[in-house]
């Protein structure tokens, strides 16, 4: 069961509480390059990105948020390190959320100013602790990077905001190590009821990073932990969103597109199933229908094994059977299988 949390709003997008688990990403354009940043966000929106974060390195980037917002449809979060003036400028530009650690801003007055501006505009703050950014003192206190030092570090920032009566907070505790990340989130989820932004930091290239993120984020979501996710990949952020959405689909959390199941093929396969499965996946990838399609290599085991699928193909020799809920409905020549399958899917 999903853990109960407070609900926050980033623009119109809710995070935590009864809101759906959202997928977010971060642009890798120069935020000051408004056109490129909008174009990239548009591509991300097309893949289903729910929220976007942009790096705010200087005042021009903070000001650019105003124009970027005009060209996009999803909430925008500014990622700021240390400089409270950038946070104030981003808030002035209408940013929907901040990622800033109050303990890194400096003296209390500066934190108060940021919190005051956030309160006025109802801008949530994400406290984000990464395994690599824990202070020397905290590392010494807890004997290095572990779940205790990560959680303690996050809670230091949380307390600063709570003392200022600010609880519009979301927390992330990302490590590069999957087990450590899971332990840290488990620990903090028993201590606070703020929504959690989950992910594995610096997960790697699209291939290895996808596996690492899927295991880490998947493990957490299966424990009911996580209200918004970000897959971090060294690549096009569009891939991050694709993987994030697919993680949610795989866990049955998101039911929007067609789910394809296919057999691994074996000595019984008499059809070019690998090629067929790939063509089916490509052809169906943009169809938003919450159904299950099975692509199976043989008629002996295919329809029976894929009984839970709404529709499927079972390969034969130069032909294939189309079945619905395990019942054979027609026999089709191999070259017509894909078109016939799509026709039958259209009818569902």
Query: Which range binds ligand SF4 by CB under 6 A, 85-93, 191-199, 232-240, 262-270?
Result: 262-270
Closest to ligand SF4 by CB, 169 vs 313, is 313
Q: What is the DSSP letter of 95?
A: -
How many other C-beta atoms lie within 10 A of the C-beta of residue 195?
A: 27
Which of 296, 309, 322, 332 binds ligand SF4 (CB under 6 A)? It is 296
Q: Does 265 bind ligand SF4 (CB under 6 A)?
A: yes
Which of 211, 301, 319, 328 binds ligand SF4 (CB under 6 A)? It is 301
Phi and psi dihedrals of 161, rounded to 5?
-70, -40
Q: Does 312 bind ligand SF4 (CB under 6 A)?
A: no
- The radius of gyration of the chain from alpha carbons, rounded to an integer in Å, stands at 24
Closest to ligand SF4 by CB, 44 vs 277, is 277
Q: Minimum distance between the CB of residue 269 and ligand SF4, rounded to whole angstroms?
A: 4
Which of 148, 236, 305, 334 binds ligand SF4 (CB under 6 A)? It is 305
Q: What is the DSSP string of 137-203?
A: HHHHHHTSSSHHHHHHHHHHHHHHHHHTT---EEEEEE-SSHHHHHHHHHHHHTT--S-BEE--TT-
First to last CA, the chain: 31
Q: Does 268 bind ligand SF4 (CB under 6 A)?
A: yes
CA distance 216 to 276: 31
49 annotated ligand-binding residue:
no
The site that binds ligand SF4 (CB under 6 A) totals a number of residues, namely 12
305 annotated ligand-binding residue:
yes
Which of 98, 158, 298, 311 binds ligand SF4 (CB under 6 A)? It is 298
Residue whose C-alpha is closest to residue 254's, from 213, 221, 229, 290: 290
CA distance 122 to 209: 34
266 annotated ligand-binding residue:
yes
Q: Does 269 bind ligand SF4 (CB under 6 A)?
A: yes
CA distance 315 to 291: 20
Query: Which range binds ligand SF4 by CB under 6 A, 1-9, 34-42, 199-207, 257-265?
Result: 257-265
CA distance 236 to 243: 11
Place of tokens 């907070």: 169
CA distance 173 to 129: 5
Cβ-closest residue to ligand SF4?
Answer: 297
Closest to ligand SF4 by CB, 143 vs 264, is 264
How many residues belong to the chain?
Answer: 348
Which of 263, 321, 322, 332 binds ligand SF4 (CB under 6 A)? It is 263
Q: Does 328 bind ligand SF4 (CB under 6 A)?
A: no
CA distance 192 to 125: 15
Q: Does 329 bind ligand SF4 (CB under 6 A)?
A: no
Q: What is the DSSP letter of 2?
A: P
Q: Does 129 bind ligand SF4 (CB under 6 A)?
A: no
* Residue 77-116 contact track with ligand SF4, rule CB under 6 A, x = bound: ----------------------------------------
Which residues contribute to the site for ligand SF4 (CB under 6 A)?
263-266, 268-269, 296-298, 301-302, 305
């Amino acid at each position: 069961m999903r853990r109960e949390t407070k609900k926050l709003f980033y623009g119109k997008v809710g995070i935590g509480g009864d809101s759906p688990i959202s997928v977010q990403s971060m642009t890798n354009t120069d935020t000051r390059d408004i056109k490129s940043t909008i174009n990239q966000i548009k591509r991300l929106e097309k893949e289903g990105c729910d929220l976007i974060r942009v790096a705010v390195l200087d005042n021009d980037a903070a000001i650019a948020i105003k124009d970027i917002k005009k060209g996009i449809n999803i909430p925008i979060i500014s990622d700021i390190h240390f400089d409270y003036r950038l946070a104030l400028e981003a808030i002035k530009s209408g940013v929907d959320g901040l990622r800033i650690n109050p303990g890194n801003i400096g003296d209390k007055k500066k934190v108060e100013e940021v919190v005051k501006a956030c309160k006025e505009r109802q801008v949530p703050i994400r406290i984000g602790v990464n395994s690599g950014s824990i202070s020397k003192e905290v590392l010494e206190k807890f004997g290095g990077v572990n779940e205790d030092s990560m959680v303690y570090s996050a809670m230091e920032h949380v307390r600063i905001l709570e003392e200022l009566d600010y609880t519009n907070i979301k927390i992330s505790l990302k490590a590069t190590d999957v087990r450590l990340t899971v332990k840290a989130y488990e620990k903090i989820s028993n201590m606070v009821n703020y929504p959690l932004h989950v992910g594995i930091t610096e997960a790697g290239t699209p291939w290895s990073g996808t596996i690492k993120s899927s295991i880490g984020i998947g493990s957490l979501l299966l424990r009911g932990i996580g209200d918004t996710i970000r897959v971090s990949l060294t690549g096009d952020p569009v891939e991050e969103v694709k993987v994030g959405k697919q993680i949610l689909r795989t866990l049955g959390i998101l039911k929007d597109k067609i789910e394809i199941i296919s057999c691994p093929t074996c000595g019984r396969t008499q059809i070019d199933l690998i090629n067929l499965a790939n063509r089916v996946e490509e052809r169906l990838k943009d169809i938003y229908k919450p159904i299950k399609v099975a692509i199976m290599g043989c008629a002996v085991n295919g329809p029976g094994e894929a009984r839970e699928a709404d529709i499927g193909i079972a390969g034969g020799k130069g032909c294939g059977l189309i079945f619905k809920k395990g019942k054979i409905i027609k026999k089709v020549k191999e070259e017509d299988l894909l078109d016939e399958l799509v026709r039958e899917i259209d009818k569902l």
